[in-house]
Structures are given as C-alpha cells and as structure tokens.
Amino acid sequence: MKGLKYIVILLTSVFLMPSCIDEYHGDWESVNERVLVVSGSIESENSCEFILRRSNPINGDINSLPSYDYDSWLSAPSSTDVAQGSNKRAYVINDFVSHAVVAVESESGARYECEEYQDGHYVVSLDKLDPDDKYFLRIVLSDGEEYTSTPMKPLDAPEIVSAGWKKEGSDVHLNVTTEDLHEPTYFSWDYYDVWEVVTPMQARVKYDPEENRIVAVSQYTNRGWIEVAKHPRVVSDNKNYGYGALKKYPLYKIDKDDQRFQVKYYTRIRQMSISREEYEYNNLILLYNSQMGGLFTPMPSELPTNIRSAKGKRGVGYIGVRGKVSEAVVCIGRGQVGCTYYIKGETIPSKWIEGLSNFDIYNLGYRVFEDDIMKGTTWTYPYCIDVAYFGASLRKPSFWDDLKLTPEDE
C-alpha cells in the first residue's frame, strides 16, 4: 500500500537488558498468558497501519509449542513464524487479533478510527497533527479489554541536507547528511524503492488455455517496475557526531550486480525524528533479534513497552508519534555502478515437448514465445518474456521518465 506507514517490530527472547534502558518488571497475570503485541506508529498527514498479534506464552517452553509442517510455513509466512530453539526449530502459530476497535486519539478529543482491512491489520489516514497536542493509540479488544499507548507530542524531523551514494568494491552504499540541530537527536529512516525490470525476450503472442488457442497479446510484458513501499527501518542518534549533523551517514548497501541496478534504481528516503525511549527500544529489539531468534519466540517477563491495558497489564510495542517528515531522492543507473546483472533468454528444446498438446505444455509451466506458420510454435520460460514472474507491474510510475541520475559522491 503506497504511502503506508508500516513498521515491522522484531521481538526476541531477552535475558540481559542494556544499562541504558530501564528494566520493566513484568506485570502480566500469568507466565502462560499470550501478550498483545502492537506494531505501528502515528504519523502526521499519512496513512498509518497498526498490526495486532498475540505472542507465545511469556517465559514459555519452546519444546511445548505445537509443531507445523515446514513447507506449509514457507507457503504461508503471514500466519506462522519460525522460533529458533537451541538445537531445533519449532513452528508456532502467531495469531492476528481481529475484530478490535482501534483508533488514534488526542488529549484534546480528536479521534481517527481505523479500518481492519485484513485479519489483525488496521489502517487509518490522519490529518496534520497539532504540534501542541498529545496523541495516542487506543485499542478495545472484542472481549472488552482496553489498551492505550503513552500520549506523546509529534516530533518534527530535521531536514535532510543531502542524500547520496558511493561505490566501494562491489557494494553501493547509500547515505544521508542531516541538518544540525545542536542537540541530541534520534533518527529513524524508511524507504520507498522502485526499479525497472526488462526480460531478454518479447512475446507478441500468448496461449489462451480457456480458448485453447494462440492469440495476439494485448500488451507487451517484457518491461515492468517493482515497487517496495518500505524497507526495514534504520535507527541512529548523533552522539558520535558531537550531537551535531550526521554527515554522509550510511543507511544501507546494495551489491552492484543486484537486480535493482539492471536498468535504473530509485529510492525515496524518509527521515523521521523519534524519542530516546523509542530509539532504545528499537535498538534493543534489533540487537537481540540478530543474535537470538525470531519474531514470536517465547518472551521473558521483562520487556520495554509504552502499551498498557486499563487493568494495568502491559502489552508489547512502542507507538511513536511523528510530525514533519523530511524526504530526499536518490536515482542510480546501471552504468554508474557497472552492473552486470542480466537474464538469459532461452527457448524450450522441441524434443522436450514433442507429442504434447499446447494445453499440456502450458500446464508444464512453459509459455509461448513465437508462433510461425513455417517454424511452428516456440515455447520459453515465463521469466524470459513476462516481468510478472519477478513481481513487477506493467504500470510505469508517472515520474519515471523525468528522473535524473544522482552523481556518485566524491
């Protein structure tokens, strides 16, 4: 969903808390309770998504969790997740929480109710937030239990002075330089990416299995665009920069031969300001996720959060409030990075499909490339003629032809 504010919060088993974060002594009623986990953020003048799920039992025993078929998990990652045991892998259900009433509210009385567009996923579009008001998320579950996040004023992001890139070896590093606020500042970034994909062959005909005949295509499918609304977020502070501006701060890197550089790669970087508490929360979660496990492994009874129920029980999550967001665009072409990515065009040897009907060949996964009265029908692989194989759309972004390439940093 374009423009959607989406945050994936990775929760892991935590046994030691860093000294910079206060310990939260668990006040859940039972170690067997499945805790409400909330992800998302409140953002001015944007579409915001909040995801509600239930964790595994606090301090639960991974060996007691139900097991599920691995192939089923691969085909349905949205309904199950992987928890890493010490020497084994357990597959556990993570239930989305549906039929809740979820709303963004303010202390002055403003209210924006979310719509549940799929199980456990709630979305709402917000107007411009009042910088002097405090906003929070209110959740009323189907059983009547109510949770709220801590009310917070919107935080405005420092301006992005510049965004650029630098090739180092086989990697392309993207970076930003920020405005200097002369004070401790905590940052978060996310990205909207678009890149062009081109197949090596262009088919002018296709096989229609319903009519069982070869027909002319209504639109060529050899050129398309992939859009990724959000990447995993990066968080940082300016402590190592003397509490001044971040200068060419590295955000992420891409291999020069990645598909994104096949033709042209575009990214719109969004910079947000977050609170110290949210910064520490995210760093903790990312740290232990990288070291220890997956999204819903059995959790300990001490986790930082700003979600609490009306009865005093804690949920898990940190709902920040964003004010003004700063944006910058970087565009990189294939030739600038020396990309060698390519898709090899191949046709299917006639001996492989000899004696088979067009319908049978189609059901084997092959696609028509050419149909000639003299030469007969030539078949190929889907990835050779159709960008849909790569998840690309045939719709070209309106801004695509007007993009100017960003020069490499000196």
pLDDT in tens, 334-373: 999 999 999 999 999 999 999 999 999 999 999 999 998 8
Q: What values do phi and psi take at 28, rounded to 5?
A: -75, 150
The mean pLDDT value for 112-129 works out to: 96
Burial class (CB in 10 A: 0-12, 13-18, 19+), 229: middle
Tokens of residue 23, six digits? 């310990």
Could you tell me the pLDDT band of residue 90, with boundaries at 50, 70 and 90?
very low
Report the C-alpha gap between 124 and 116 in whole angstroms.
9
Residues sharing a CB contact under 8 Å with residue 306, sequence separation 6 or more, in sequence order: 149, 150, 277, 317, 318, 319
At residue 301, the pLDDT reads: 45
Mean pLDDT value across the chain: 82
Chain-centre distance of CA 92, in angstroms?
Answer: 22
3-state DSSP call for residue 175? Answer: strand
pLDDT tens readout for residues 142-160:
999 999 999 999 999 999 9
The model carries a pTM of 0.77
**Who wins on pLDDT, 86 or 301?**
301
Report the C-alpha gap between 151 and 316 in whole angstroms.
16
Q: What values do phi and psi take at 388, rounded to 5?
A: -60, -25
The mean pLDDT value for 67-73 works out to: 33
CA distances from 242 to 19, 160, 184, 185 (A): 21, 18, 9, 11
Tokens of residue 82, six digits? 């992987």
